[in-house]
Amino acid sequence: MHSNHLLLEEPIRMASILEPSKSSFFPAMTKIVGTLGPKSRSVEVISGCLKAGMSVARFDFSWGNPEYHQGTLENLKTAVKTTKKLCAVMLDTVGPELQVVNKSGNPISLQADGFVILTPDQEQEASSKVLPINFEGLSKAVKHGDTIFVGQYLFTGSETTSVWLEVSEVKGNDVVCVIKNSATLAGSLFTLHASQIRIELPTLSDKDKEVISTWGVQNKIDFLSLSYTRHAEDVRNAREYLSKLGDLYQTQIFAKIENIEGLTHFDEILQEADGIILSRGNLGIDLPPEKVFLFQKAALYKCNMAGKPAVVTRVVDSMTDNLRPTRAEATDVANAVLDGSDAILLGAETLRGLYPIETISTVGKICAEAEKVFNQDLYFKKTVKYVGEPMTHLESIASSAVRAAIKVKSSVIICFTSSGRAARLIAKYRPTMPVLSVVIPRLKTNQLKWSFSGAFEARQSLIVRGLFPMLADPRHPAESTSATNESILKVALDHGKASGVIKSHDRVVICQKVGDASVVKIIELED
């Protein structure tokens, strides 16, 4: 771990703190993943979320049926068309998540120092004395003194809507617990988390497989968020499963690290996964609170150096019910950006929160401010040093493009790519200006029909910091002649001008393939 902070080397001028924030076409370089649900599924609200800066929509299958989520997704498609803002789709699996089932949906009041029984008998009604759960093996997994948390959507440790239990004794299949804090559980489904206990359930459950093979295939999901990833093997198994499902062989797998086991095997998981989600809600239960920041900094550093997107969760919990975040939360969002996070994931805040659009807008503004003081120079040197020599051909081109763009104060980097890899490598060096990734579709056939690739690659860059995709016209072949490149470049420049990131007399750095060679060139725009 490097101790260098990624802040500006020179002191930040106090006067600049009082300057009003400038708005731009891209709310921030850091991306925002929004979870869509009861409070954020209408076309109107989703349109507001897209305009405020959401670029990935997350569908959480630990609640709601596929029909419900399909309705939400159809509204998302409509909102994308009307706002002309691209949005990727992420399916979040349930995995080995333990749940308390409250069939009646009535609120359950639990009093501190009382007792409550966790039972696998789901025929029983949930009450202040008995909580039925969806797992037979809890009594075998826990022992006297173990800690269990129960709450809606996740326990944060500070609310009266979640409860902290301590195992008193095990009676057959039932687990008798002492209640440590008074709380009222509201809703029909609560998450149960046994701290530092291995739960013998598959990471990709049969229910998950069914949802992926139907809803996932039908909607060509861009990302699979693999809940409770514990080993690299979990990612390999999920990838093998996706590879047999038509277009889903292109779906990227983001490993969700949410317990000690995933943390222990972090390095191997990072090698296998396409990206990482640091699920700080559950991790904050498995880890002592004073260790969470250390994991965040170490994990983000590793993701950055590997050039894989890192997503941080649970940043503005209080905005679920309030219009403003707490000071600590605002600072936390900024620190996630300074630590190197690619995206911020909003869960309950947009799913059932009262202010989904305002939350996205607020988080975007904080990210933009943090990006202004992100020490790119230090980060660049650190990344180059980590990559070492000799660099691969692509890595060398990517780092050169970023260095050139910074030296000539380019307003934007334009990268022509068909797989998206070159653009992701440029973004890995965290340039201070946006990277327009012009994805050139490839024509392919399965002997029965022709189709274009490119849509997946374009949408998947919507989770990478600083990367903004556009799809080129498929009539332009990827193998470049100067004429086709010029016409695609004109489209990209026009897009940049329309979105306000390019003005006349600006310098622009272009990264492209010409024949077998990769070329970085600098152009200065005329009027």
Which DSSP string corresponds to 237-278? Answer: HHHHHHHTSGGGGG-EEEEEE-SHHHHHTHHHHHHHSSEEEE
Q: Evaluate whether 376 touches 403 at the Cβ level (below 8 Å).
A: no
- Residue 268 backbone phi and psi in degrees, to 5: -70, -40
- How far apart are the C-alpha atoms of 442 and 119, rounded to whole Å? 55
Q: Is residue 114's pLDDT more than 50?
A: yes
**In angstroms, how far apart are the furthest CA atoms of the chain?**
80
Listed in sequence order, the residues at least 6 apart from 67 whose beta carbon sits closer than 8 Å to its beta carbon are none
pLDDT of residue 439: 84
Residue with tokens 């939400």: 72
464-511 per-position pLDDT tens digit: 999 998 877 666 554 455 555 677 788 888 888 887 888 888 899 999
User: 314: helix, coil or strand?
Assistant: coil
With 0-12 / 13-18 / 19 or more C-beta atoms within 10 angstroms meaning exposed / middle / buried, residue 2 is exposed
Strands 252-257 and 275-278: parallel
Nearest to 394 by CA among 435, 424, 427, 422: 422
Count of other CB atoms within 10 angstroms of residue 515:
9
Average pLDDT, the chain: 88
pLDDT by residue (tens digit) across 358-374?
Answer: 999 999 999 999 999 89
Q: Please compute the mean of the pLDDT values over residues 403-417 and round it to a whole number.
A: 92
Of the pLDDT bands very low, low, confident and very high (cuts 50, 70, 90), residue 2 is very low
pLDDT value of position 451: 66
Q: For residues 272 and 266, is the Cβ–Cβ distance under 8 A?
A: no
pLDDT on residue 472:
74
H/E element holding 89? strand 88-92
Give the separation between CA 275 and CA 225, rounded to whole angstroms. 9
21-38 pLDDT per residue, tens: 665 667 799 999 999 999
Is residue 145 within 8 A of residue 194, CB to CB? The reply is: no
Length of the chain: 527
- Its pTM stands at 0.91
Greater confidence (25 vs 524) lies with 524
Instruction: List b or e across 189-213, with b for residues whose CB sees 16 or more CB atoms inside 10 angstroms.
Output: ebbbbbbebebeeebbbeebbebbb
Percent of the chain with pLDDT over 90: 59
pLDDT band at 441 (very low <50, low <70, confident <90, very high): confident
User: For residues 59 and 73, what is the distance between their CA atoms, to the nearest angstrom?
Assistant: 9
pLDDT of residue 458: 85
Beta strands in 273-378 (DSSP E): 275-278, 310-313, 343-346
Cα separation, 147 vs 181, in Å, equals: 13
Residue-level pLDDT at 478: 47
Phi, psi of 438 (to 5 degrees): -90, 105
Identify whether 289 is preceded by a cis peptide bond (ω within 30 of 0).
no
Neighbours of 48 (CB within 10 A): 19
519 vs 465: which has the higher pLDDT = 465
CA distance 37 to 46: 10
Interval 444-469 mean pLDDT: 82
Residue 520's CB is within 10 A of a number of other CB atoms, namely 20
pLDDT at 10: 55
- Cα distances from 440 to residues 4, 62, 472, in angstroms, run 39, 36, 5
- Position 445 pLDDT exceeds 80: no
Q: For residue 452, is pLDDT > 80?
A: no
Nearest partner of 309 among 297, 300, 318, judged by Cα:
300
Alpha-carbon gap, residue 328 to 26, rounded angstroms: 25
Residue 1: pLDDT over 50:
no
pLDDT of residue 355: 95
Can you give the pLDDT at residue 73?
A: 96
Task: Average the pLDDT over each of 148-157, 175-184, 216-225, 231-240 and give the range with the smallest value.
Answer: 148-157
Window from 47-61, 276-290, 490-504 with minimum mean pLDDT:
490-504
In this predicted structure, what is the pLDDT of residue 252? 96
CB 219 within 8 A of CB 212: no
Total Cβ atoms within 10 A of residue 152:
20
Instruction: Write out the two tokens for 458.
Output: 């374009």
More confident residue, 275 or 439: 275
Structure tokens of 185?
């559980």
What's the pLDDT tens digit per position in 335-348?
A: 999 999 999 999 98
Query: Comparing C-alpha atoms, which of 100, 98, 149 is closest to residue 127?
Result: 100
Nearest alpha-carbon partner for 229 in 287, 276, 285 = 276
pLDDT-wise least confident of 177-191, 218-232, 239-253, 255-269:
177-191
